[in-house]
Amino acid sequence: MGWWGHLGGLKQRGIVTYSLSPFEQRAFAGALHQAIFNTFRRTTGQVLYIGIPFGLAYGTYSWAKKNHEFRLSKEGHAFYGAGEH
């Protein structure tokens, strides 16, 4: 036995061996198909956690925007009695 890199034995030349793991042959086989159905399954599982708060936030935002516009209008000033000082 020799030192590091020189372990003794005969030198082999011209022998090149390549192999490919079965897991690397088709790494993305079915990835797009699985991604579509997995995304749908995960989205339907989270819709209550995201949809309800989003709906409440959007409803609050649209109500506040309409209320603000009404309060800035002539009808809003007359309804709330602003400007009678």
- What is the reported pLDDT for 84? 59
Tell me the per-residue pLDDT of 2-45, one tens digit each, with 9 for 90 and over.
666 666 666 767 777 888 777 777 778 888 888 999 999 999 99
For residue 21, give Cα distances in angstroms to 27, 28, 35, 36, 47: 10, 14, 23, 27, 40
The mean per-residue pLDDT over the stretch 56-82 comes to 93
Residue 79: which residues within 8 A CB-CB, separation 6 or more?
70
Phi, psi (rounded to 5 degrees) for 17:
-120, 125
Positive or negative: CA dihedral 48, 54, 60, 62: negative
Domain boundaries, the chain: 48-85
Inform me whether the pLDDT recorded for 68 exceeds 70: yes
Enter the pTM of the model.
Answer: 0.52
- What is the reported pLDDT for 13? 76
Map tokens 């699985």 to a residue: 34
- What is the reported pLDDT for 16? 78
Inform me whether the pLDDT recorded for 64 exceeds 80: yes
